[in-house]
Structure 1
């Protein structure tokens, strides 16, 4: 493979991402030094569910270790169907949240904050979803850490549940066993009773925050959000938030019974 650049496709907002040998090159930004500091910390404390930061190349792109495997969404979601695999996702997220608690950001850290969380008890990933999960052997890992920023465990968990259950209004993804999968995830993560109560209203709020963000960015004609708005992503997130609201008693029963 040598130094050939192989474009990597997927995702809605990442462009200019290429593979070079066993590395991935991505456009860098003001947030890159802080993100690399975070990733270095995670590996230093033994968390393997993220790429390793390898610096900046001569084209001012960030360099990360390439993680071989299969991205779960949308064509391989069946890989996450068994309860034990959904539980593994929740355990990886819990391991990340525990590993990041000891992270002290650089004094000059700059983060790419797209949607502020309702608190800041950790540096959260903010996009823990099946489109950012690489299922490999032996490691599973989350990619696309460029929107890591101050947030909370539950803000990350609410977003993860939306994608990994999934909590979708789309008939193609709507599931009769959604409540069961929420419970499997919550149990595997180790959510306490108080956390479960606090999580319930965040499920719809986290999805609605995405709809609001895309609408606001599109109104300001900022890309790639304007294109996503025209492609219907805002409507999808709003429909999902409404669906979650309508079924909140089901999610409450699943989490608390």
Structure 2
């Protein structure tokens, strides 16, 4: 049976043979497979199934059928649709709730290092539009779980907000097809509401900044070490750093929830609104 090269794959790459995806395995692949088996046993259908390894030692994963962005620019309209954004928030909340009790195998190993500790979840850590699969108007799930790993909920959610709202620089957002910077605050709160996030949203902005800069630093470290994938992702690191600076400069009212008015607009947020609490876990 022939191997069909799948689009994307800037770091590892993958091929499809029938309904199975084959990818070069990494040192953390066994731990990620344990995570995917945990999700499958819980009935979570928004992720591929781990199917072991082939005769070449490549990992085998079930194929998520649907539409992917691949190398397309601008991104398709569904990447900026409110309905998709809501589904992304709901998908991520269910993922975090299911992984809060995940017990990794002995000798757990993750792409970014670290280990599972109380109060953490296992996040996808790259649940961006370019890793999404859409079945019509339905979010089928996300592929590319190589970078999955333990973190507080906010850290994983922050990267998703950065890429789905999106909170990139206006120039980068226009490049991908989003040209409504005035709508970003509303979209951010739509995503957080769909997740059920009840944390301090102004503080969440600082998490976005930190996550973007940390991601950029990892890419630059990879490039300095001579990793071809890191070198290829240097423009991404530049965008993340510029975006972090832009997010840091957003006004306070950007992060405040605005109550809906009868005419469909948004009323000013109450200055004395009681600070919300972070979600459990």
Both structures adopt the same fold (TM-score exceeding 0.5): yes
- 1:203 maps to 2:200: no
Structure 2: unaligned runs, 5 residues or longer = 260-268, 270-281
CA contact (8 A) 1:114 1:147 kept: no
Instruction: Provide the rounded CA distance (Å) in 2 between the counterparts of 1:50 and 1:149.
Output: 15
Q: Which residue of 2 aligns with 1:157?
A: 157
Instruction: Provide the rounded CA distance (Å) in 2 between the counterparts of 1:247 and 1:116.
Output: 33
Larger gyration radius, structure 1 or structure 2:
2
Give the secondary structure class of the aligned counterpart of 1:177.
helix
CA contact (8 A) 2:84 2:139 kept: no
Stretches of 4+ aligned residues off by more than 6 angstroms: 114-117
Instruction: Provide the rounded CA distance (Å) in 1 between the counterparts of 2:88 and 2:165.
Output: 11
Offset at 1:190?
0.3
Q: Which residue of 2 aligns with 1:102?
A: 101
Which string of whole-angstrom CA distances, capped at 9 and with x for unpartnered residues, describes residues 182-215 of structure 1? 01001110011x3535412111111111222222
CA contact (8 A) 1:67 1:136 kept: no
Offset at 1:116?
9.8
Give the secondary structure class of the aligned counterpart of 1:50.
coil
Q: Which residue of 1 aligns with 2:38?
A: 41
CA contact (8 A) 1:34 1:109 kept: yes
Offset at 1:80?
3.3
TM-score (norm 2): 0.82
TM-score (norm 1): 0.89
Shift in alpha-carbon separation, 1:121–1:243, aligned structure 2, 3 A: same
Aligned residue pair count? 251
Give the secondary structure class of the aligned counterpart of 2:94.
helix
Shift in alpha-carbon separation, 1:255–1:152, aligned structure 2, 3 A: farther
Instruction: Provide the rounded CA distance (Å) in 2 between the counterparts of 1:151 and 1:121.
Output: 5
Greater mean alpha carbon deviation, residues 134-143 or residues 55-64: 134-143
CA contact (8 A) 1:133 1:143 kept: yes
Alignment of 1:1-257 (within 5 A): 3-15=1-13, 17-72=14-69, 74-113=73-112, 121-136=120-135, 140-171=140-171, 172=174, 173-174=178-179, 175-192=181-198, 194-229=199-234, 232-254=235-257, 257=269
Shift in alpha-carbon separation, 1:140–1:214, aligned structure 2, 3 A: same
